[in-house]
Amino acid sequence: MEKNESSDPLQKGNIIVTDTNPLLDDPEIIDSMRTGINANNLLVIPWTVMLELDKNKSTPGIGHEAREAVRRIRKAQKELKPNIIIEDNLYFTSSSLSKEESDHRIIATVAYISKQTRKGDKRGNYFGYQKIKFLTNDEILQSLSEHVFRADSRVSVEPLLKNRVKEIKEKSFTKIKLGENDKAELVKGKIFLSLKVKSRLKENEIVLFTSDFDASGKPAALKNHFLGIRKGDKLKIVRPDIKIYNEIGALNNGKTNWPQVAAIDLLLDPSIRVVFLQGGAGTGKTLLALAAGLEAKKRGWCKKIVIIRLPVPVDSKYITGLLPGGIEQKLAPWLLPIMDSLAVLCPGKNKMPDKSYEESNFYLLQQHGIFIQPFDYVKGISYKDDFVIVDEAQDLNQRQTKQIITRAGADTKMVFVGDLDQISEDYRHINRHNSGLPYAISRLAGEPMVGVVKFDDV
């Protein structure tokens, strides 16, 4: 254990003990938790956490965060009066805790610190601190810790609250009823209607029109016939028969899939530079994103299609280890959803007889100007004249999402595709509240160059 040269006890703040996952989620908290308005806090890194950071320093998807966390810890230790401690002492308060389990050892570290604060030893590192906050995004560890410290008022167990996104119950598109004046405008061939009433609609927000006429002003039997997308003080008309690459549309068994209609329009709108497609499996998100990329390339709007995907398994506990072969073989398992979509969009492309399955897939991708970009190599790249698809975006943390968005250069469009119900399990403990996908949507929705579609229909 290292010596902490702390300030006057009367001016001391809280002891912040952190689990591994908050550091992997955002290494910057190593500074923010103990500087500025938090300068009187003491940050404690359990020895077990340091070992886990070391173990994950080369893990795909989180290796950069692990190394960055260690770098910031080392820098903080070298300060003139460091308010950071690496604690290797343990105190097992309960016989039910195992000394072999890393999570239990972290709890034992918190227990040791709590015991030291009760001693009142003025020479100790923890003298004068009254409150201990244990940060973890691991819900199981939260429950275990709350049980162990249920009678200890000094200890509170909390998730990392920084930039947490409040989950909002999904709602269908806002409905707007059209009248005779709107009908007259549509008969004239207008593609914009005035937004007459006061509205809380965000820019590029989607509405569903109800009327007894269609988008041309002609009488129709059904109530819902077309969509509108807010553009300033007007609503842009979007017809349900809108098509994308190879005449892909949004009609499923004769029924219009309105989120797909909205997605196609936003994907084909050159003024929209970032599109978020969020929703469940089977809603056509990846298919539409890839179709839009092929359409953009066909129209000359982009030079190539770039697909970024974080190679995170469904559950890191069952990872199969490093994959053999070159980049084609290593990335092949992650490309299956892309290849499935490409087979639908470009039928008739058979496997090349003289090449392996993986080589055939990569050849097919190259034929269509599609390039696969491993996330680990995104840093330092600027995308220009590209159509970028970020697949499985729910597995990105907030830092990674920002890192990708800031890579967008001139004439580049980015499409983030993800499903919050399919967040993969790994050491970061990403969930619906701290995933980079809902975080980016909450920050960017309503911006003139950003479109958001949330799918609910398969």
Domain boundaries, the chain: 9-158, 166-239, 249-454
- CB-CB contact of 416 with 437 (8 Å): yes
The reply to whether 166-239 shares the fold of 9-158 is no
pLDDT score recorded for residue 179: 87
pLDDT score recorded for residue 248: 83
Q: H or E segment at 373? A: strand 370-374
pLDDT score recorded for residue 434: 85
The CATH label, of 3.40.930.10, 3.40.50.1010, 3.40.47.10, 3.30.559.10, for the domain at 9-158 is 3.40.50.1010
Rounded CA separation 263/439 (Å):
20
pTM: 0.78
Beta bridge partners of 15: 42, 132
Mean pLDDT by 10 residues, the chain (458 residues): 50 90 91 92 97 90 89 96 95 85 97 91 87 94 95 93 68 83 87 77 92 85 81 91 86 76 96 96 92 96 92 52 59 78 78 66 84 82 95 90 93 96 77 90 95 83
Nearest to 286 by CA among 273, 272, 267, 312: 267
pLDDT score recorded for residue 322: 55
Residue with tokens 């709107």: 182
- DSSP letter (8 states) at residue 173: P
Measured distance between the N- and C-terminal CA atoms of the chain, rounded to whole angstroms:
55
Supply the angle between the helices 63-77 and 47-55 in degrees, to the nearest 10.
Answer: 140
pLDDT score recorded for residue 156: 96
pLDDT score recorded for residue 147: 94
Report CA-CA distances (Å) from 418 to 107, 296, 454. 34, 21, 10
pLDDT score recorded for residue 318: 40
Single-letter code of the amino acid located at 419: D
pLDDT score recorded for residue 256: 79
Helix/strand/coil percent split, the chain, to 5: 35, 20, 45
pLDDT score recorded for residue 427: 61
Nearest to 128 by CA among 154, 146, 148: 154
pLDDT score recorded for residue 346: 85
The CATH class of the 166-239 domain is mainly beta
SS3 103: helix
Say which CATH architecture domain 249-454 belongs to: 3-Layer(aba) Sandwich (3.40)
pLDDT score recorded for residue 157: 96
Q: Return the ∠ at Cα 153 (arms to 147 and 154), rounded to 5°.
A: 105
Q: Which two tokens stand for residue 322?
A: 């490093």
